[in-house]
Amino acid sequence: MLVYVNGRFVPKEQATVSVFDHGFLYGDGVFEGIRAYNGRVFKLDEHIQRLYESAHAIMLEIPMTPEEMAAAVVETCRRNGLSEAYIRVVVSRGPGDLGIDPRKCPRPSVVIIADRLALYPTELYEQGMKVMTVATRRVSPAALNPRVKSLNYLNNIMARLEANLAGYAEVIMLNDEGYVAECTGDNIFIVLRGRLLTPPPHLGILQGITRDTIFERARPRAPPGEAPFSTRHDLYIADECFITGTAAEVCPVVEVDGRRVGDGRPGPITRQLMEDYRAYARSHGTPIWEEQDTRAAGGQ
C-alpha cells in the first residue's frame, strides 16, 4: 500500500507524521472519508469542498489547491490499483511545539490513505438495525460546530463506547438541548406521514454528503421537510427510519429505544432509497482510470 504524505507516495510502513504534529497532540486538524466505486470517486468535489470549509473554519490553510487535492485523491487510488476504496484525507495543523498555539505550526500535514472498505453485515440492510439514544450529548455548536469535520472525534467516540457497552451497531445522539441530532458516524432520517424528515444543520450535526444526496434523490418520492423532526417522540411515531453515511450508505432502522418503528421491518421508501442510492453511487463519480468516459459517468 502506498500512502500520500505531504506530496510523496510512500509505503505504508514509512507513512508517518511527527509526534509533535498538533493533529496528534490536540486533534487539531480536519478530515474526510470518501468512497470509490467501480473506478470512480463518488462526490469527490463535495468532499473536497467540505474539507476546505472545515479547514477555513479552524483557520488552517491547506498547502495545495482544491484541484490539486482532488487530483491527489484520484492518484492515491490509481497508485494502489483500487477501483473500490475507502479514502481517508487528513489535514492536520502540522508539527509545532508542546503549546496549543497553532502559530507554532508553519507546515500543515496532508495525508491520503486509500484502503479496502470493511462493509457492514448484509443482515443489517435486509432486516434493519436497532438503535438507542445515548447519554452523551452531541457537542454544542457554540463550543465546536459539528459541521467542522475535525480530528477531534472524542465526542462521537464517547457515544460509540456507550453503543459498544449496550451492544448496538449505531446509536442516536441528542444535542445539548435534547433534540435529536445525529448518530456517531451517520445522519438520521425518518418518514412521517409521507414526508422525509431529518434534523437541520443548526441543531448541531455534520452536514453529511450522503444526507444531501438522499435529499436530492428523494424529492420525487417523499417531499423533504427539515424543520418538524426534532424530538425522540418523532422517532417513536415514525413510519420509517434510516441512517445515512459514506460507509453505511442507507441503512434501515427498525427499532428505537425499544420502540418498534413502523411494522418493525425496513419500510418501502427506505428500501427504494437504499436501492436508488446504491445504483447511483456505483455509476457516478470522478474516473480513476483515464479510459473511462466521463460524460457517461455524469461528469462527477
List residues with catalytic annotation.
149
Please return the burial class of 152, using the count of CB atoms within 10 Å of its CB with bins 0-12, 13-18 and 19+. middle
Task: Report in angstroms how near the CB of residue 156 gets to ligand PXG at its nearest.
Answer: 6
Nearest residue (CB) to ligand PXG, 92 versus 244:
244
| Identity of residue 20 | F
Task: Report in angstroms how near the CB of residue 38 gets to ligand PXG at its nearest.
Answer: 19
Q: Does 156 bind ligand PXG (CB under 6 A)?
A: yes
Tell me how far apart the alpha carbons of residues 233 and 186 are, in angstroms, rounded to a whole number. Answer: 20
Tell me how far apart the alpha carbons of residues 84 and 78 are, in angstroms, rounded to a whole number. Answer: 11
Q: 74 to each of 2, 78, 235, how far by Cα in Å?
A: 13, 6, 39
Please give the DSSP secondary-structure letter assigned to residue 128.
Answer: -
Q: Which of residues 93-132 bind ligand PXG (CB under 6 A)?
A: none
Q: Does 80 bind ligand PXG (CB under 6 A)?
A: no
Among 10, 117, 247, 297, binds ligand PXG (CB under 6 A): 247
How would you write 142-167 as a 3-class SS string?
CCCCCCCCECCCHHHHHHHHHHHHHC
Please return the burial class of 114, using the count of CB atoms within 10 Å of its CB with bins 0-12, 13-18 and 19+. buried
Q: Does 23 bind ligand PXG (CB under 6 A)?
A: no
Among 54, 187, 198, 230, binds ligand PXG (CB under 6 A): 187
Going residue by residue from 29 to 68, which x/- string records binding to ligand PXG, judged by CB under 6 A? ----x-----------------------------------
Candidate segments 89-97, 124-132, 209-217, 262-270, binder of ligand PXG by CB under 6 A = 209-217
Among 29, 96, 185, 267, binds ligand PXG (CB under 6 A): 185
Candidate segments 4-12, 64-72, 179-187, 262-270, binder of ligand PXG by CB under 6 A = 179-187
Per-residue buried b or exposed e for 259-283, using 16+ beta carbons within 10 Å of the residue's own CB: eebbeebbbebbbebbebbeebbee
Q: Does 251 bind ligand PXG (CB under 6 A)?
A: no
Candidate segments 123-131, 232-240, 242-250, 252-260, binder of ligand PXG by CB under 6 A = 242-250
Helix orientation angle between 209-218 and 268-281, rounded to the nearest 10 degrees: 110
Among 114, 209, 241, 273, binds ligand PXG (CB under 6 A): 209
Nearest residue (CB) to ligand PXG, 105 versus 235:
235
Task: Report in angstroms how near the CB of residue 176 gets to ligand PXG at its nearest.
Answer: 15
Q: 149 to each of 2, 30, 185, 258, how far by Cα in Å?
A: 24, 6, 11, 31
Q: Does 160 bind ligand PXG (CB under 6 A)?
A: no
Contact of 166 with 132, CB cutoff 8 Å: yes
Nearest residue (CB) to ligand PXG, 110 versus 206:
206
Q: Does 245 bind ligand PXG (CB under 6 A)?
A: yes
Rg (CA), the chain: 20
Q: For ligand PXG, how many residues bind (rule: CB under 6 A)? A: 15
Task: Report in angstroms how near the CB of residue 266 gets to ligand PXG at its nearest.
Answer: 19
Contact of 37 with 281, CB cutoff 8 Å: yes
Tell me how far apart the alpha carbons of residues 247 and 240 are, in angstroms, rounded to a whole number. Answer: 21
Contact of 255 with 261, CB cutoff 8 Å: yes
Residues within the interface to ligand PXG (CB under 6 A): 33, 156, 182, 185-187, 206, 208-211, 244-247
